[in-house]
Amino acid sequence: MTFFRRDTGKMGEDKAVAAVRRRGMRVRCRNYRCRLGEIDIIAEDGGTLVFVEVRSRRTGGYGLPQESIGPQKAAKVRRAAQYYMAVNELSDADCRFDVVAVKMDLKGKVENIEYIKNAF
């Protein structure tokens, strides 16, 4: 991964955490990794566990950030979430999968943040 992409992703995740908190949610962890995949943000919204996928883009050449989440990526996030819930004995908890799409200009200034609840 190039520095440009890594930098874009990090900035996007920082903005996404702020968006999650503005909605009154509590962030449990960031960048959860297990053998089944990664979850960008895990938060709590009341009694619901929220698994958040963050997508960031600096150009529109490949479409909107949220359009980059295909069925395979959604399935991978779901599997990692099931693992997280099992390991943390949260198997009976309500959960949902949200997406935060962050669009920036080439200098890294945020142009738009879209929060998509129950995205997949």
In the chain, what are the domains?
3-116 (3.40.1350.10)
User: What does the pLDDT look like over 22-68, one tens digit per residue?
Assistant: 999 999 999 999 999 999 999 999 999 999 999 998 877 778 899 99
pLDDT at 2: 55
Q: Residue 5: pLDDT band by 50, 70, 90 thresholds?
A: low
User: What does the pLDDT look like over 67-107, one tens digit per residue?
Assistant: 999 999 999 999 999 999 999 999 999 999 999 999 998 88
**Dihedral angle computed from the Cα positions of residues 21, 23, 24 and 27, in that order, rounded to the nearest 10 degrees:** -40
DSSP state, 10? Answer: H
Q: Residue 4: pLDDT band by 50, 70, 90 thresholds?
A: low
Distances (CA, A) of 19 to 30, 80, 90, 105, 108: 14, 22, 24, 18, 17
